């Protein structure tokens, strides 16, 4: 397929393109409407702020953040389609590096010190050991290569969003992190590249993650909300990893103020996560 969007693959090409200061939207490809909403947000932001380099999308399936190698192997990939979608969304360049550009042989790419929100909550940190080490490593490295002024991350991965924000602050990086709202299917299922792996039966049952978050909304106490979420997931035959209400910003136990309901569950061999504001969950 002939594609017109500018594709950058190496550090030299990045430097020559002069995109430092751009708005970066990091992805692992297999782009769906959720990614495209973030990308459109990035394009609009770069235009509004006159960002040098405009909006750049990175596409890289990062091996170091997969705690299960089979998950990495079967992760959906469709480079030609991704480039066409980026072009259609008006991005200025796509950074699509080979693994050896991100992790040059013989070079130790450092893993930044993990902030407490990446180690204490017992959520993704506990259920995907090594995941946030890999995420922080690759995001830090992408920032070093691309040198964005702004980076857009989805609220879909709420703990990740907080982890990246904390890492940027701790490292004193001159990068603003912009959150983007979660885009959902008609039944409320959060869009995810992994949804393509759901068989028809699991796809129907996967809608219960959103149903669980909605069931938690308006329930007065965190423990009751957590029980309500588990009930919905159990009834749908999903295997729940966690269904909790936490402080929205620290992910520690909820006391007062803004909370977040967060769920992780397996549907037909596919691990899904979602979250929503609490007690307004499901707005």
Contact 30, 85 (CB under 8 A): no
Q: Which of residues 141-160 bind ligand AMP (CB under 6 A)?
A: 153-154, 156-157
Only one residue has tokens 């999308």, namely 57
> CA–CA separation, 200 vs 192, rounded Å?
15
Euclidean distance between CA atoms 221 and 171, whole angstroms: 36
Could you tell me which of 12, 39, 49 has the C-alpha nearest to residue 149?
A: 49
Query: C-beta of 177: minimal distance to ligand AMP in Å?
Result: 10
Residue 182 contacts ligand AMP per CB under 6 A: yes
Q: Which is nearer to ligand AMP, 73 or 108 (CB)?
A: 73
Among 5, 8, 24, 37, binds ligand AMP (CB under 6 A): 37
The distance of closest approach from Cβ of residue 158 to ligand AMP in the complex, given in angstroms and rounded to an integer, is 9
**Phi–psi pair at 107, nearest 5 degrees:** -110, 130
Stretch that binds ligand AMP, among 9-17, 90-98, 178-186, 243-251 (CB under 6 A): 178-186
Which residue of 8, 22, 35, 219 would you call a contact of ligand AMP, by CB under 6 A? Answer: 35
Q: Is 127 a catalytic residue?
A: no
Catalytic choice (32, 35, 127, 131):
35
CB of 106 to ligand AMP, least distance (A): 27
**Cβ pair 256, 248 in contact under 8 A:** no
259 interacts with ligand AMP by CB under 6 A: no
Using a 10 angstrom Cβ sphere, with 0-12 exposed, 13-18 middle and 19 or more buried, the burial of residue 113 is exposed
The residues in 185-204 that bind ligand AMP, with binding defined as CB under 6 A, are 190-193
- DSSP state string for 105-122: TT---PPPPPPGGGTSSS
Binding mask 157-176 for ligand AMP (x = CB under 6 A): x-------------------
Active site residues: 35
The site for ligand AMP (CB under 6 A) is made up of 27-28, 34-35, 37-38, 153-154, 156-157, 180, 182-183, 190-193
């Amino acid at each position: 397929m002939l594609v017109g969007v500018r594709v950058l693959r190496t550090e030299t090409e990045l430097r020559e393109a002069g995109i430092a200061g751009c708005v970066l939207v990091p992805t692992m490809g297999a782009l769906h409407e959720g990614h495209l909403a973030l990308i459109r947000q990035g394009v609009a932001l770069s235009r509004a702020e006159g960002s040098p380099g405009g909006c750049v999308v990175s596409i890289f399936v990062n091996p170091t953040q997969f705690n299960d190698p089979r998950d990495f192997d079967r992760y959906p990939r469709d480079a030609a389609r991704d480039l066409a979608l980026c072009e259609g969304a008006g991005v200025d360049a796509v950074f699509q590096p080979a693994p050896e550009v991100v992790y040059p042989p013989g070079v130790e790419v450092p893993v930044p010190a993990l902030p407490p929100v990446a180690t204490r909550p017992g959520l993704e940190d506990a259920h995907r050991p090594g995941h946030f080490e890999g995420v922080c490593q690759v995001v830090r490295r992408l920032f070093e290569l691309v040198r964005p002024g702004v980076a857009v991350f989805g609220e879909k991965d709420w703990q990740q969003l907080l982890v990246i924000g904390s890492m940027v602050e701790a490292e004193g990086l001159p990068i603003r992190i912009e959150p983007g709202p979660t885009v959902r299917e008609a039944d409320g299922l959060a869009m995810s590249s992994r949804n393509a792996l759901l068989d028809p039966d699991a796809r129907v049952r996967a809608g219960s993650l959103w149903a669980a978050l909605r069931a938690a909304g308006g329930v007065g106490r965190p423990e009751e909300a957590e029980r309500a979420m588990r009930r919905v997931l159990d009834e749908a035959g999903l295997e729940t990893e966690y269904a909790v209400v936490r402080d929205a910003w620290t992910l520690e136990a909820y006391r007062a103020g803004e909370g977040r309901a967060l769920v992780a569950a397996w549907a037909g061999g596919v691990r899904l996560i979602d979250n929503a504001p609490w007690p307004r969950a499901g707005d």
